[in-house]
Amino acid sequence: MRASFVFSEVMTGLRRNVTMTVAMILTTSISLFLLGVGLLVVRMIDKTQVVYEDRVQVDVFLTNDISANDKNCQTDPCSKLRTDLENDPAVESVTYENRDAAYKRFKEIFAAQPELVKLARPDALPASFSVKLYEPDRSDVIIQTFSGRVGVDAVTDQRKYLDSLFQMFNGVRDLTFVIALIQAIAALLLISNTVQVSAFTRRTEVGIMRLVGATRWYTQLPFLLEAVVAGIIGAVLGVGLLVLVKMWFFDRLLGGLFQSGVIRPIEGIDILVTAPWLLLTAVGISAVTGYLTLRLYVRT
Amino acid sequence: MIRLEHVSKVYKTSTRPALEDVSVEIDKGEFVFLIGASGSGKSTFLRLLLREEVPTKGRVYVANFDVVRMARRRVPRLRQSIGCVFQDFRLLTNKTVAENVAFALEVIGKPRNTIRKVVPEVLELVGLEGKAARMPHELSGGEQQRVAIARAFVNRPLMLLADEPTGNLDPDTSQDIMLLLERINRTGTTVLMATHDHSIVDSMRRRVVELSLGQVVRDDSRGVYGVGR
């Protein structure tokens, strides 16, 4: 097999068919870009979830009566609640936060919005137990056991709040995957069509090649490589688009969320890890599509 | 060299067989004319030898290949041992004369040194020395057919199949092409030529196989075109 011969055939083919080639490259790159966004969101969700797995806890808010009168949780029912919580096998640790501490923390969290702090009075904030569980997904048990007990105002699982955040991320991820899939179908058809057109424009060459006894590889590899080369260019463009979108969209729009630590940022390394998969997908899909097209439509 | 045993070929789109119970044997080094009206089965005959088609019935042997039963991946080997020339030359218009000839070797993976050496040799053999850098459209019909013959012969095939190679040429040019084919035949290459050209067949006095409606109706060792009608 003479590499230089095959290579020059590939280049001739791509140039001769330049409009189709450009369309094929653009569609492929957009499809792979969307797939990349989806994969990045998946990574972001995974990393963020890991962070919250450690932090997520159940809050047991206490009634106004306890909040006002039992600063150090020394009398029943507060002390009884604490020992019951501590003795529960699902519970890892329990921290008591009285009204003053809650107010202090409130001020810290909303330091940027002084008017909100001014509005809030310490006696509006309840004392609470922050309960950390061995297994965060067993929170239901705690909620059932302690809801409605004397001195308990409400039991909330922080997970519930996070779930809606993750649901949004999952929605974004699914959306990008769906659009990526539709784009991929378009890319697939374009690749197939380009290979057919390419084979048709070079039917004289191919006819002569077959006649003089060129093997299947020699006659078909150029077409196959055309598809693969276009796929690779598409993948490179897609990754480039991903980098731009990271800089201009993720970093700018979600920058605040990243800094506050609410969600984990998408970093350069994430793109670096995702890129080879996109490239591999591009090569795989274009090669398989090209091969099947040649098998089905082009006589050998 | 070539042997057909009771070969029949029926195309799916037709009820009448293109070839019917054809048995022909051609030895190494022979020069054979395949004649007959359009639709008599000449093209099918040639296509069977190249395994462009597979017969409906019968066996086909070319060189050492059992053409009907051979594996698909060995077909290129068969075709490398057969040179082909056509009425319409089938040159690549965007390549020079030398590139057209070299193409046949490039696509079967011959090393570049070999190509550089044998292409000028074969161009000289067909009488095109000095025209290696010309483009096909700059050549006359006869010259273009010489390029096609050079391309068919450059890999030194065991046999040369020519499908009406003089069909597009005037009588004088046709005569030159026939001289060239004779010269190639004298190197030991079997030549099988399908033709309509009476005068050529009559003047050459070579073996003539005549097909009519898919059947062999005549096989003369030193035949002329018109005998028997």
- Number of helices (H), then strands (E), belonging to chain A: the values are 13, 4
The complex's ipTM works out to: 0.87
- Residue A9: its chain B contacts at CB < 8 A? none
User: What's the pLDDT tens digit per position in A46-76?
Assistant: 887 777 766 667 888 888 877 887 777 877 7
**CB-based contact (8 Å) between B106 and chain A?**
yes
Is B109–A218 a contact, with Cβ atoms under 8 angstroms apart? Answer: yes
Alpha helices in B50-93 (DSSP H): 75-80
pLDDT of residue B227: 55
* Phi, psi of B190, deg, nearest 5: -70, 135
With CA atoms as reference, the chain B residue closest to A9 would be: B107
pLDDT given at position A299: 64
Distances (CA, A) of A134 to A60, A94, A137, A231, B42: 16, 12, 9, 48, 87
Interface touch B50/A211, C-beta < 8 Å: yes
H helix and E strand count, chain B: 7, 10
Interface of B with A in 154-213 (CB under 8 A): 155
Q: In the structure encoding, which two tokens stand for residue A82, read together? A: 């604490």
Cβ atoms of residues B80 and B138 within 8 Å: no
Residue B114 to residues A217, A255, B91, B120, B155, Cα–Cα distance (Å): 21, 65, 21, 11, 10
Q: How far apart are CA A261 and CA B221, in angstroms?
A: 96
CB B11 within 8 A of CB B18: yes
At B229 the pLDDT is: 45
| Inter-residue contact B33 to B204 (CB < 8 Å) | yes
Q: Give how far Cα B209 sits from Cα of A210, B5, B7, B33, B162, Å.
A: 27, 15, 15, 6, 14
More confident residue, B52 or A2: B52
Rounded Cα–Cα distance for residues A232 and A292 (Å) = 18
Is residue B222 within 8 A of residue B61, CB to CB? The reply is no
Query: Which residue type is seen at B60?
Result: V
Select from B50, B79, B92 the Cβ nearest to the Cβ of A205.
Answer: B92
Give me the phi and psi of A154, to 5 degrees please: -160, 150
Q: Which residue has the tokens 């492929």?
A: A28
Nearest Cα to Cα of residue B190 among B75, B62, B104: B62
Instruction: Give residue-wise pLDDT tens across range A13-41.
Output: 888 888 888 988 998 999 899 888 888 88
List C-alpha distances in Å: A14 to A194, A279, A285, A290: 9, 19, 18, 14
Query: What is the per-residue pLDDT for A300?
Result: 52
Chain B residues whose beta carbon lies within 8 Å of the beta carbon of residue A219: 107
Interaxial angle between packed helices B141-153 and B112-125, expressed in degrees from 0 to 180 and rounded to the nearest 10:
140
Taking contacts as CB-CB distances below 8 angstroms, the residues of chain B near A204 are: 90, 92
Of B121, B184, B120, B124, which Cα lies nearest the Cα of B157?
B184
Average pLDDT, chain A: 83
Return the axis-axis angle of helices A139-146 and A78-87, rounded to nearest 10°: 150
- Cα–Cα distance, A68 to A99 (Å, whole number): 7
Instruction: For an interface test with A, give the residue of B46, B106, B118, B161 to mutate (most A CBs within 10 A).
Output: B106
Furthest-apart CA pair in chain B: how many Å?
53
d(CA A230, CA A193): 13
Q: Mind spelling out the 3-state secondary structure of A169-204?
A: HHHHHHHHHHHHHHHHHHHHHHHHHHHHHHHHHCHH
In the predicted structure, residue A296 carries a pLDDT above the cut 80:
yes
Three-class secondary structure of residue B22 per DSSP: strand
B51 touches chain A (CB under 8 A): no
Other CB atoms closer than 10 Å to residue B217's CB: what's the count?
13
A-chain residue closest to B77, CA distance: A213
- Structure tokens that stand for A251 in this block: 């970093």
Is B21:B39 a contact under the CB 8 Å cutoff? no
pLDDT in tens, A161-188: 777 877 888 888 888 889 888 888 888 8
Q: Which two tokens stand for residue B54?
A: 């597979």
Contacts for A147 with CB less than 8 Å, ≥ 6 apart: A154, A155
Mean pLDDT of A145-149: 80
pLDDT at A68: 80
In the predicted model, is pLDDT for residue A262 greater than 70? no
Among candidate residues B170, B181, B169, the one with its CA nearest the CA of residue B83: B181
Chain A partners within 8 Å of B81 (Cβ): 213
Shortest CA gap A296–chain B (Å): 16
Q: Other CB atoms closer than 10 Å to residue A249's CB: what's the count?
A: 12
Q: Show me where the domains of chain A are located.
A: 3-52+163-296, 57-157
pTM of the model: 0.71
> What was the pLDDT predicted at B215?
93
Q: Does B90 touch chain A (CB under 8 A)?
A: yes
Q: Which two tokens stand for residue A253?
A: 């729009």
Closest CA to B18 of B221, B229, B213: B213
Return the pLDDT at A194.
85
Could you report the per-residue pLDDT of A241-261, keeping only the tens digit for each?
Answer: 999 988 887 777 777 666 666
Q: Going residue by residue through chain B (229 aa), what tens digit of pLDDT does each one get?
A: 899 999 999 998 888 899 999 999 999 999 999 999 888 999 999 999 999 999 999 999 999 899 999 998 899 999 999 999 999 999 999 899 999 999 999 989 899 899 999 999 999 999 999 999 999 999 999 999 999 999 999 999 999 999 999 999 999 999 999 999 999 999 999 999 999 888 899 988 899 999 999 999 999 888 788 754 4
**Domain A57-157 classification at class level:** alpha beta
Cα separation, B146 vs B169, in Å, equals: 12
pLDDT in the model for residue A1: 55
Cα–Cα distances in angstroms (integers) from residue B86 to residues A25, B113, B131, B167, B185, in the given order = 39, 28, 21, 9, 17
Question: What integer pLDDT is reported at residue B101 of this predicted model?
Answer: 96
Tokens of A79: 């002390």
B9, B16 in Cβ contact below 8 A?
A: no
Rounded mean pLDDT, A122-145:
80
Closest-CA residue to A149 (of A83, A239, A201, A94): A83
